[in-house]
Structure 1
Amino acid sequence: MTAAKDTGVGVRGVVTASIAAALGLALLLGLGTWQLQRKAWKETLIATVTARITQPPQPLLPRAQWPTASESEREYAHVRFTGTFLPGEAFVYTAGSSLRPDVTDQGYWVFAPARLADGGVLLVNRGFVPTPRKDSAARAQVTPGGPVDIVGYMRWPEAHGLFAPTDDVKANLFFTRDLNAMSAAHGWKLDAPFYIDQEAPPPPGGLPKPGKIEVNLPNNHWQYALTWYGLALALIGVYTVWLTGRLRRRTER
């Protein structure tokens, strides 16, 4: 009776462990495969962004097409247009940029509205200023008053992240590139759902500092996939050793 009971308990233990191992193996293999899919997606993204930013700048879309501009088709498009900057600036905090290798210090992106000849208004990220030179007086530069021939990249706004600090509207300080938040704080009436990362021209005083975008997106998904697949192999090995030992002990009884 006791032997039969022990046998039943042993079988249930093997079944339970086997189910747990199978579930763990499925999870690890799934994570490895997901990382391979992410790798393919990242490679496509890098190729797409590289192709867009290296093309000669094209005329910006007509104002009538702004509301329906597709982020997937237009993000990072290299464009040119003539606009007149309107009064006011908004500052977006940054601690460096993966797309602008020349920006390595803490500071701010300076956003300002610009009106085109057809009356359309959009926001332009005029470039970077380091923290000590945030104020206009410190950078000896004011917003240009006449038409400016601008070259830049079409970009879409960011959502306010879960862990992003709360914007300090009174201090005119923002922590995400949220066009709605900036325009609401300043009373700007924008016509474009996107903004422009300015590449050129630099202002006479050098600040804000515009610049070229470079593709520097991390792509470590192959290493992550190998890690998950390696853990799957390790699980198979551990389970095999455990099951072999368990069966051997049963046959020796």
Structure 2
Amino acid sequence: MEPDDDRSGSSRSMALRVLLVGLGLLACAGLFSLGVWQVHRLAWKEALIARVDARLREAPAPLPETARWPALTRDADEYRRIAVQGRYDFSHQVLVRASTALGAGWWVLTPLQAPQGAWVLVNRGFVPPEMKGQVPQGAPEAAVTGLLRFTEPGGGFLQANVPAQGRWYSRDVAAIAAAQGLQGPVAPFFLDAQALTAADRSAWPRPGLTVIQFPNNHLVYALTWFALGAGLAGAIGWLLWDGWRRRRPAGASQRVD
């Protein structure tokens, strides 16, 4: 091979190495950025869990006034304990498909009208399939303590609500209120009734089945991204060292006395 050909091949090899190193460094930066993002997500999730735990230990608050409804947010208000008194309207009750620790069945959502005239949907609890046509009503006048939950618009996974046919797969407050023709202000949230007594824990509908669980795998994700970034950085370091080793003169490592 001619010397010019050798120099040309060496130049192409060098250019390829520079390109690979540059792309590798960009990838490293991306991987470490993802790791840092997951660390921030971990801090956010731990703070959320702490806030919700604190809300569950607080004394129940009264039903928020209608003027406050637009300012309510998931981060600041979901899972707050709310105590409300009012009158159930069992004629506009709906059943929503549910999957619980007791198996598949139905959530029983009943509109409750507070003394000031506002409506709030109360998830009175779960009933199994065989009770779908005979849900116990109880007294219309009721005092409810429940967890504030935000509306679930649209439907469930791959199953859209069909209001015209009374098929509900999610607790979509606005759609349920419209389908049932509730007159007056309707809260943009519903209440998951809590089980406060031993009788509640054996009654139907069965309250107190709210699942409060927040997946928190952010530390694992962060360590994964950092490990991938470190591995790629090690590969880039080896590539640079190998290129430097190959460019050394043949006798550079020999000691001259």
TM-score range, shorter chain: 0.7 to 0.9
Deviates more, 1:222-231 or 1:171-180: 171-180
Q: What residue number does 2:140 align with?
A: 146
Aligned partner letter, 2:87: T
Task: Please report how far the alpha carbon of residue 174 of structure 1 lies from its aligned counterpart in structure 2 after TM superposition.
Answer: 2.1
TM-score scaled to structure 1, two decimals? Answer: 0.84
- Render the CA deviation track for 1:127-157: whole Å, top value 9, x for unaligned: 1222333x132x5x1x334210111111111
Aligned partner letter, 1:14: R
SS in structure 2 opposite 1:84?
A: strand
Q: What residue number does 1:243 align with?
A: 240
Q: What residue number does 2:222 align with?
A: 225
SS in structure 2 opposite 1:196?
A: strand
Deviates more, 1:172-181 or 1:76-85: 172-181
- Answer whether contact 1:110 1:129 (CA < 8 A) is retained: yes
Q: Say if 1:25 and 1:210 are closer, same or farther in 2 by CA, change over 3 A.
A: same
CA RMSD, Structure 1 to Structure 2 (Å): 2.6
In the alignment, is residue 109 of structure 1 matched against residue 112 of structure 2? no
Q: Determine the C-alpha separation between the residues in 2 that align with 1:120 and 1:200.
A: 24
Q: What residue number does 1:193 align with?
A: 188
Q: Say if 1:74 and 1:209 are closer, same or farther in 2 by CA, change over 3 A.
A: same
- Answer whether contact 2:161 2:169 (CA < 8 A) is retained: yes
Higher relative contact order (CA 8 A, sep 6+): 1
Aligned partner letter, 2:124: R
Q: Determine the C-alpha separation between the residues in 2 that align with 1:204 and 1:220.
A: 32
Q: What residue number does 2:119 align with?
A: 121
TM-score scaled to structure 2, two decimals? Answer: 0.83
Q: Determine the C-alpha separation between the residues in 1 that align with 2:67 and 2:204.
A: 32
Q: What residue number does 1:94 align with?
A: 98
Q: Determine the C-alpha separation between the residues in 1 that align with 2:202 and 2:35.
A: 51
- Answer whether contact 1:79 1:151 (CA < 8 A) is retained: yes
Q: What residue number does 1:179 align with?
A: 173
User: If you compute each CA radius of gyration, which structure gives the higher value, 1 or 2?
Assistant: 2
Deviates more, 1:76-85 or 1:164-173: 164-173
Q: Percent identity?
A: 32
SS in structure 1 opposite 2:237?
A: helix
1:156 to 140, 150, 161: 150
Task: Please report how far the alpha carbon of residue 168 of structure 1 lies from its aligned counterpart in structure 2 after TM superposition.
Answer: 3.2
Q: Say if 1:68 and 1:36 are closer, same or farther in 2 by CA, change over 3 A.
A: closer
Q: Say if 1:66 and 1:41 are closer, same or farther in 2 by CA, change over 3 A.
A: same
